[in-house]
Chains A and B, each alone.
Chain A
Amino acid sequence: GQQVMQIPQYQHVQEGEDFTTYCNSSTTLSNIQWYKQRPGGHPVFLIQLVKSGEVKKQKRLTFQFGEAKKNSSLHITATQTTDVGTYFCAGPDSNYQLIWGAGTKLIIKP
Chain B
Amino acid sequence: NAGVTQTPKFRILKIGQSMTLQCAQDMNHNYMYWYRQDPGMGLKLIYYSVGAGITDKGEVPNGYNVSRSTTEDFPLRLELAAPSQTSVYFCASSPLRGPQHFGDGTRLSIL
Contact = CB atoms under 8 A, between A and B. Distances in A.
Interface of A: 30-31, 33, 35, 41-45, 48, 88, 92, 95-98, 100-103
Contact of A45 (B42, B43, B96, B100): B100
Q: How large is the interface on B (under 10, 10 to 19, 20 to 34, 35 or more residues)?
A: 20 to 34
- Helix, strand, loop or mixed for chain A's interface? loop
B4 to A, nearest CB: 9
8 contacts: A33-B100, A43-B92, A43-B100, A44-B102, A48-B98, A97-B33, A98-B45, A101-B42
Contacts of B41: 102
A44 B105 CA distance: 12
Given A42-B105, A43-B43, A102-B41, A96 B96 contact: yes
A100 B104 CA distance: 18
